Amino acid sequence: MPVASPFVSEPAVGPGRDRQNAVYRAGALGRRPRVPTDPEGLERAARRATSKDAWAYVAGGAGAGATMRANRAAFDRWALVPRMLRDVSARDRSVSLFGRTLPTPLLVAPIGAAGLVRPGADVLIGRASAAVGVPYILSSQGSSPMEETVAAMEGVLAGAPRWYQLYWSTDETLVDSFIRRAEAAGAEALVVTLDTTMLGWRPQDLNRGSLPFARGIGIAQYTSDQRFWELVHERSGPAGRGPRPRPTAGAVRTLASMARELPGGFVANARAPLTRAAVETFLAIYSKPSLSWADLATLRARTRLPVLLKGILHPDDALRAADLGVDGILVSNHGGRQVDGAVAALDALVDVVAALGGADHRGMPVVLDSGVRSGADVVKALALGAAAVTVGRPHVYGLAVDGEAGVRAVLENLVAEVDLTLGLCGVSTVSDLGPELLRRV
């Protein structure tokens, strides 16, 4: 017989109360959290910690920013209606996706060129995600080769969950190479981003004439790929001989940045004509404006991974994805970075879930991406039928404020707030969430 202990039957306090306790205990000793716990404070702190170019790239959006505002406004139009007296002492935040049980319904969204914010960004984000057990979706525009990021994640947690996000290049051999590398690196799903066949019109970057990729930041998946270098060599004649930038201070800075970012020594890179050719090759091949459903139909034979489509907004596209047999979708407007005046992601979620026939989505999990800032947002999205949500800009803001620890703090705060919001709404398990908890306001 096990010895009865007064603590054994003590209900677990859960991550919400754990986090509060940790913060308040430190506060009693005079220490305040480095990473603000509210979305606006976090954004302000990140802005202070970031260069103007990096801020323009991370916080900026398409056109006049209407889609970014719409993403937030959509959350505000739903109110939670908490229920009382339901014994919420034990709460289960876990969800199951593609055979893996996740501790929380969160994933870390793919972020390209985060190296603008901090050197080694992907490794820092990957380590923090692994520590919290949240899957990290590695970006095609990563700032470190995926193998390096994954090795760092493995150092924190063996088998740390990761997915890979693919931008479909015009070169099919490169597409296959990225898929093969992602499989070898232990990615558990492939997320194909559909909404970036061209870069959106982004005035914050345009007004500064600033594109990270043109400085060699965010092209590490390419420059670590043998097929990419074959393409560079094929193209390097014309690219290498193209008009040379006038040696202004800006041009020298750009070349120095490229030389730093590319594999190989800085001095050798700065001298090599291939340095510029690599960046120009990337700019020529990274996205495919002709991408169509026919391309996607070829994927099944090209990977054994579950395939998710990111960027679906129209219910008919969701239905078409289901007909094609994809394994999941991410309803997303890319954080308002692509089309100004687009539908809010949360509004699109409602339409997509209705079109797919309610909760089971024809067996296809629907993940909500874009605009999630708080635990309440997460709970609302799940109540409207999302299987999980992604955390985008907030984790980059955490990175800006405090590196790896900052990303971890943002994720832990979000998990804590989800936990408390669930309990305070009278809900013990994520599967109990439904539209009856919400009222349109």
Pairing relation of β-strands 100-102 and 106-108? Answer: unpaired
Q: Exactly one of 67, 149, 165, 177 binds ligand FMN (CB under 6 A); which one?
A: 165
Q: Which stretch binds ligand FMN (CB under 6 A): 1-9, 95-103, 133-141, 428-436?
A: 133-141
The answer to the question of residue 14 lying near ligand FMN (CB under 6 A) is no
Residue 59: CB minimum distance to ligand FMN, A: 8
What gap in Å lies between CA 367 and CA 387, rounded to an integer? 6
334 part of the active site: yes
The secondary structure of residue 109, as a DSSP letter, is: P
Determine which one of 233, 334, 361, 395 is catalytic: 334
The answer to the question of residue 111 lying near ligand FMN (CB under 6 A) is yes
The secondary structure of residue 358, as a DSSP letter, is: S
Q: Exactly one of 70, 74, 109, 255 binds ligand FMN (CB under 6 A); which one?
A: 109
Neighbours of 304 (CB within 10 A): 9
Q: Which stretch binds ligand FMN (CB under 6 A): 137-145, 251-259, 298-306, 347-355?
A: 137-145
Q: Encoding tokens for residue 131? A: 């520590």
What gap in Å lies between CA 214 and CA 194, rounded to an integer? 22
Pairing relation of β-strands 190-193 and 162-166? Answer: parallel
Helices (H), 107-156: 121-132, 146-156
Residue 424: CB minimum distance to ligand FMN, A: 24
Identify residues 185-224 at the interface with ligand FMN (CB under 6 A).
193
Identify residues 33-92 at the interface with ligand FMN (CB under 6 A).
57-58
Residue 421: CB minimum distance to ligand FMN, A: 18
Q: Which stretch binds ligand FMN (CB under 6 A): 138-146, 269-277, 314-322, 353-361?
A: 138-146
Residue 325: CB minimum distance to ligand FMN, A: 21
Identify residues 313-372 at the interface with ligand FMN (CB under 6 A).
332, 334-335, 337, 369-372
Residue 68: CB minimum distance to ligand FMN, A: 6
The answer to the question of residue 112 lying near ligand FMN (CB under 6 A) is yes
Q: Which stretch binds ligand FMN (CB under 6 A): 80-88, 107-115, 119-127, 281-289?
A: 107-115
Mention every residue, 6+ apart, whose C-beta is less than 8 A from residue 9. Answer: none
What letter represents residue 58's amino acid? Answer: V
Identify residues 139-158 at the interface with ligand FMN (CB under 6 A).
139-141
What gap in Å lies between CA 199 and CA 181, rounded to an integer? 25
Q: Exactly one of 16, 39, 63, 110 binds ligand FMN (CB under 6 A); which one?
A: 110
What gap in Å lies between CA 98 and CA 118, rounded to an integer? 32
The answer to the question of residue 288 lying near ligand FMN (CB under 6 A) is no
Residue 34: CB minimum distance to ligand FMN, A: 21
Residue 309: CB minimum distance to ligand FMN, A: 11
Measured from the CB atom, is 257 or 332 closer to ligand FMN?
332
The answer to the question of residue 375 lying near ligand FMN (CB under 6 A) is no
Neighbours of 5 (CB within 10 A): 8
The DSSP annotation for 274-319 comes to HHHHHHHHHHHHS--TT--HHHHHTGGGT-SS-EEEEEE-SHHHHH
The DSSP annotation for 32-86 comes to --SS-SSHHHHHHHHHHTS-HHHHHHHH--STTSHHHHHHHHHHHTEEE----SS
Spatial CA neighbour of 390 closest among 307, 334, 321 = 334
The answer to the question of residue 392 lying near ligand FMN (CB under 6 A) is yes
Residue 69 Cα to chain centre, angstroms? 19
| Catalytic machinery residues | 334
- Chain positions contacting ligand FMN, by CB under 6 A: 57-58, 109-112, 139-141, 165, 193, 310, 332, 334-335, 337, 369-372, 392-393
